[in-house]
Amino acid sequence: MHDDRSLVEARLKRVLDERIRPAVYPESIPLDVAVWNAPGEPVPVAEGLAGPAEPVAVGDRWGAPWGTSWFRVSGTVPEKWAGRTVEAILDLGFDENMPGFQCEGLVYRPDGSPVKGLNPRNQWVRVAAPAAGGEEVLLHVEAASNPVILDYHPFLPTRLGDKETAGSEPQYRLARMDLAVFDETVWQLVLDLEVLGELMAELPVDGARRWEILRAISRALDAVDLQDVNGSAAAARAQLAEVLATPAPSTAHRISAVGHAHIDSAWLWPLRETVRKVARTTANMTALLEDEPEFVFAMSQAQQFAWIKEHRPEVYAKVKKAVAEGRFVPAGGMWVESDTNMPGSEAMARQFVHGKRFFLDEFGIENDEAWLPDTFGFAAGLPQIIKAAGSKWLLTQKISWSKINKFPHHTFRWEGIDGTRIFTHFPPVDSYNCSMTGEQIAHAARNFKEKGVARHSLAPTGWGDGGGGTTREMIAKAARMRSLEGSATVAWETPGDFFAKAEAEYPNPPVWVGELYLELHRATLTSQAKTKQGNRRSEHLLREAELWAATAAVRTGSAYPYEQLDRIWKTVLLHQFHDILPGSSIAWVHREAEKTYAALAEELNGVIDAAQRALAGDATGGTALLFNSAPHTRGGVAAGAAGPEAGAGTARLQPRDGGGYVLSNDLLKVEIDARGLVVSAYDLGAERETVAPGEAANLLQIHPDFPNQWDAWDVDEFYRNTVTDLTDLDELVPVEDGHTAGVRVVRSFGSSKVIQSLTLTPGVKRLDIDTEVDWHETEKFLKAAFPLDVHAERYASETQFGHVYRATHTNTSWEAAKFEACNHRFVHLEEPGWGVALVNDSTYGHDVTRTVRESDAGTTTTVRVSLLRAPRFPDPETDQGVHRFRHALAPGATIGDAVREGYRVNLPERRLTGSGAVAPLVTVDNDAVVVSALKLADDESGDLVVRLYESAGGRARVRIGTDFDATAVAATDLLERPLTDTEQPELADGAVRLSLRPFELVTLRLTRR
- Least Cα distance to 930 among 442, 543, 411, 595 occurs for 543
Could you say which of 183, 374, 897, 927 is catalytic? Answer: 374
The DSSP secondary-structure symbol of 248 reads P
- Beta bridge partners, 757, equal 744, 770
| Rg of the chain (C-alpha set) | 31
Angle at the Cα of 602 from the Cα atoms of 601 and 605, rounded to 5 degrees: 80
Sheet harboring 114-118: ordered strands across? 54-55, 32-38, 67-76, 136-145, 104-108, 114-118
Sheet harboring 176-181: ordered strands across? 28-30, 176-181, 86-91, 124-128
Amino acid at the residue 705: D
Instruction: Please report, for residues 336, 411, 624, 877, the alpha-carbon distance to residue 212 in angstroms, rounded to integers and kept in the order given.
Output: 48, 34, 89, 58
Give the C-alpha separation, 609 to 907, whole Å.
14
Query: Are the CB atoms for 757 and 767 separated by under 8 Å?
Result: no
Q: Decide if 897 is catalytic.
A: no
* For helices 184-202 and 472-480, angle between their N-to-C axes, nearest 10 degrees: 60
Amino acid at the residue 60: D
Query: Are the CB atoms for 137 and 76 separated by under 8 Å?
Result: yes
Q: Work out the burial of residue 543: count CB atoms within 10 Å of its CB; fewer than 13 is exposed, 13-18 middle, 19 or more buried.
A: buried
DSSP string covering 438-505: HHHHHHHHHH-TTTTT--EEEEEESB-TTS-B--HHHHHHHHHTSS-TTS-EEEE--HHHHHHHHHHH
Angle at the Cα of 535 from the Cα atoms of 540 and 764, rounded to 5 degrees: 45
CA 967 distance to own-chain centroid: 40
Angle at the Cα of 471 from the Cα atoms of 446 and 327, rounded to 5 degrees: 90
Pairing mode, strands 834-840 and 881-891: antiparallel
Give the C-alpha separation, 822 to 802, whole Å.
13
Three-state SS for 91?
A: strand
DSSP string covering 847-905: EEEEEE-TTTS-EEEEEEEEEEE---SS-TTTT-EEEEEEEEEEET--HHHHHHHHHHH
- Least Cα distance to 179 among 338, 26, 320 occurs for 26
Instruction: Please report, for residues 125, 940, 981, 984, 1005, the alpha-carbon distance to residue 978 in angstroms, rounded to integers and kept in the order given.
Output: 50, 16, 9, 9, 8
**Phi/psi zone of residue 947: left (φ > 0), alpha (ψ -120 to 50 degrees), beta?**
beta
* For helices 313-324 and 302-311, angle between their N-to-C axes, nearest 10 degrees: 130
Query: Are the CB atoms for 684 and 667 separated by under 8 Å?
Result: yes
Query: Are the CB atoms for 75 and 192 separated by under 8 Å?
Result: no
Give the C-alpha separation, 751 to 772, whole Å.
14
Instruction: Please report, for residues 194, 224, 505, 787, the alpha-carbon distance to residue 227 in angstroms, rounded to integers and kept in the order given.
Output: 21, 9, 53, 78
Give the C-alpha separation, 866 to 820, whole Å.
9
Give the C-alpha separation, 411 to 457, whole Å.
8
Give the C-alpha separation, 218 to 328, whole Å.
40
- The residues carrying an active-site annotation are 374
